[in-house]
Amino acid sequence: MSGTLSAIALTLLPIVAGCGDDDPVVVDTPPFPPDGVFSETGDAQVTIFWNPNWENDLAAYGVYRSDASDGSYSHLSDVPASRVCDGYWVCYTDTDVINGETWYYAVTALDAAGNESDLSYEDVFDTPRPEGANLILFDYTGQNRGLSGYDFSFLSGAAQPDTAMTTDIFYGAAAGVNYLWTTSRVDIQDYGLIELPFVDWAPVSGWAPSGRVEAIVGHSYIVRMADVPVVHYAKVYVKSVSNAGADPDTRNVTLDWAYQPVNVEPHNRELAPGFGGGASR
């Protein structure tokens, strides 16, 4: 009897094995949501960065945007999986934005079969703002006093007198030291030896009690304009500055700047990107 059972088993084995080979079970799951998502604030644009996914069948990424943190996200664009930005990240630049308006972003991953991941988990939002370069201010004690100050809200990049009612900051030397000065409604602080793109958020304290700071090449500065009840912010970077002992008629400072307007969100301290989870502090 045992021999008969063994023969039956041997006869059935090829049939069972054949069924498994001819009808394999295929499981095709969606990719993981992208991680490491953050934003870079620009002038009328926002660039979103994220880490590349590692799935073998990855085809593209989907970029989504909303006008509210808890709102419905709309599809902006698909980005090829092969795109590389700054040597490592994947990125997408949104130019359909208005300075001063805040947008919320998320990213998905798509595979070759069309499966799409959930939205990325990071809380990433960004408020684009105007910026400018090579603003030249002359010493307010010299004959070019009419070009010693700047009003950030004017946005033209043109200097104006330090005595103008709208002037926010102005330049001048005193006792052999170059200074950036502020008017009575404006605060300023030295943010240190750091390039302007890496100055991300305006602090809540640390403002210079004197209303002036030494203008040092390579340093960035935060400016707070307290037009009560609205408070808004700017940042400046000293690219070059004259010798403080030079002729006051020719002494000058060259600045780059970025300004967060208040047309939509007062008290917005965002000035540039927030890394490690996006612009979300």
pLDDT tens string 149-167:
999 987 677 899 999 999 9
Residue 14 above 50 pLDDT? Answer: no
The pTM assigned to this predicted structure is 0.71
Cβ(146)–Cβ(123) under 8 Å? Answer: no
Q: What is the CATH number of domain 38-126?
A: 2.60.40.10
Residue 187's pLDDT is what?
Answer: 95
Q: Is 265 or 223 the better-scoring residue by pLDDT?
A: 223
**Average pLDDT score over residue span 92-98:** 95
Least confident range from 10-24, 83-97, 140-154, 232-246: namely: 10-24
Mention every residue, 6+ apart, whose C-beta is less than 8 A from residue 31.
53, 55, 58, 109, 110, 111, 115, 116, 117
What tens digit of pLDDT does each residue of 50-71 get?
Answer: 999 999 999 999 999 999 888 7
Banded model confidence at residue 254, pLDDT cuts 50, 70, 90: very high
Q: Is the pLDDT of residue 21 over 90?
A: no
Q: What is the 8-class DSSP label of residue 197? A: G
Q: What percent of the chain has pLDDT over 70?
A: 81
Paired tokens of 132: 């400018």
Q: How far apart are CA 118 and CA 111, in angstroms?
A: 12
Return d(Cα 46, Cα 66) in angstroms, integer: 13
In angstroms, the CA 229 to CA 226 distance is: 8
